[in-house]
Every structure is written in structure tokens, then in C-alpha cells.
Amino acid sequence: MSKNLILIGFMGVGKGTIARALSQKSGIFAIDTDDLIESLENRKIKKIFKKEGEEYFRKLEKKTAKWLEENVKNTIISTGGGFFKVENIHKIGTVIYLKSSFEAILKRIKEHPNAKNKLKKRPLLKNMKKAKKLFEERTSQYEKCADIVINVENKEIDKIVKEIMEKTGLQKRD
Ligand code: S3P
């Protein structure tokens, strides 16, 4: 593999979890755009939203996208839920949309042992009505952006990883 794999999808769908599982199976390193932004800014996403607002955060996503295009290859990249809107996403790599219903995503977050923190760190999940609206707006946009769509609802991580490996030709590590 030399093309990057980019995981997109709504907040809490499991992009980071799947990226790490893929990494373990394939031996290919995984990075996360929110992590990159947090280190670049040396503060948490929540703080960036609070102090500078969403627009500033979106600029950081664009900067990250440019850096990824110019510097990163052969890597699994998980992204924040709004990252797919960067113009150059298809120049970064193959885009994989992890698809699930809003209800299943909420269930996944709530059942997490650290559920409180999962909700707290995501400013756009603070208001459930708004989050649902955002989900509805984005669903067709994710589909349109995706090279590959993977339905992850009610599926074991191993099964999802297997499906992604089959569809992308990603090989198991030796
Ligand atoms: C966002 C999703 C978050 C994070 C930021 C904005 C979004 O990432 O990038 O809070 O616009 O959907 P996760 O998808 O990892 O929660």
C-alpha cells in the first residue's frame, strides 16, 4: 500500500477505533487529524472551539489536509467528523465512509465506559437536536465523498476490519 486510507464518518461512529484495529492487523501506522491539530495547537479541540470558534478549527483542518497531502503516504488516517469537507481529500488518499444510524452512534457512545468524557470533548454533540440535524445534513455528503462505504452498524470490529481489508487490498502483517 502506498496510498493512504482515510476514514470519514459522524462523531462517535468509531473512526479511531477502526483505524487502530486496522493498524494492528496490517502493521501500517495510523494517525488522527484531531490528534494532529491538538498537538499543533498544544490544546484540546474543546478548548479551540471555545476560545477561537468553529471557523478557526476548520482552518486548522485545511492546514492539516494540506500537510497530509504533501507529507504523508502509506498511512491509515482517521479524521474528525467534519474533516471530509476539505477540498483536497481525494488527493490525500482513498476515502472510506463508516456508515451507521444516529441512534446506533448514540448507543455506542453511551455504552462506552468513559461515556461522559466522550460527550464532553465533542462540542457539536452538546445539543442533541442540533447534532441530529447535522447528522441528517451530512449523511448524503459523506456518501458523495466516499470511494468506499462500509456499513458498521451492529458489526464486530473484526468484521469491519476484514471488510475494509478486502475492499482496499490492504494485507495482513507478516
Ligand atoms: C467534529 C467532530 C470531532 C472534532 C470536532 C468537530 C465534527 O471529531 O473534529 O469536534 O464537525 O463532526 P470526532 O468525529 O472524532 O468526534
- Contact between 133 and 44 (Cβ < 8 Å): no
Nearest CA to ligand 1 atom 11: 82
Q: Please state whether beta strands 93-99 and 76-78 pair in parallel, antiparallel, or not at all (unpaired).
A: unpaired
- The finding on whether 9 has its CB within 6 A of some atom of ligand 1 is no
Average pLDDT across the chain, whole number: 96
- Contact between 4 and 73 (Cβ < 8 Å): yes
Q: What is the Cα–Cα distance from 10 to 13, expressed in whole angstroms? A: 6
- The finding on whether 164 has its CB within 6 A of some atom of ligand 1 is no
Whole-model pTM over 0.85: yes
Name which of 119, 172, 170 is nearest 1 in CA terms.
170
The DSSP secondary structure of 56-117, one letter per residue, reads: HHHHHHHHHHHHHHHH--S-EEE--TTGGGSTTHHHHEEEEEEE--HHHHHHHHHHSTTHHH
Nearest CA to ligand 1 atom 10: 122
Q: Per residue in 79-129, pLDDT tens?
A: 999 999 999 999 999 999 999 999 999 999 999 999 999 888 999 999 999
So what's the pLDDT on residue 174?
78
- Matching residue, cell 447534532: 131
- Summarize the confidence of residues 54-64 as an average pLDDT: 98
Single-letter code of the amino acid located at 141: Q
CA of 154 to the centre of ligand 1 (A): 22
